């Protein structure tokens, strides 16, 4: 596997992990949960 391809995969995985981390932040989680639940109240 070439260096460019390894770098590409590393960037893609880092981006996925970074975005997933956004979802795990307590403020984000609470805000999302409230919005999801608001649809049923």
Binding site for other proteins (CB under 8 A): 15-16, 19-20, 22-24, 28-29, 31-40
Q: Are residues 22 and 28 in contact, defined by beta-carbon separation less than 8 angstroms?
A: yes
Which residue, 3 or 20, has its beta carbon nearer to other proteins? Answer: 20
- Measured between alpha carbons, how far is 23 from 7 in angstroms, rounded to an integer? 25
Torsion of CA 28, 32, 34, 40, to 10 degrees: -170
Query: Closest CB to other proteins among 10 and 31?
Result: 31
What are the structure tokens assigned to 41, written together?
């109240």
Closer of 3 and 22 to other proteins (Cβ): 22
Q: Provide the minimum distance between the beta carbon of 9 and other proteins in the complex, in angstroms, as a whole number.
A: 11
């Amino acid at each position: 596997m070439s260096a460019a391809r390894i770098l590409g995969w590393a960037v893609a995985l880092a981006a996925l992990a970074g975005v997933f981390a956004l979802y795990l932040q307590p403020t984000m989680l609470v805000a999302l949960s409230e919005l999801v639940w608001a649809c049923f109240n």
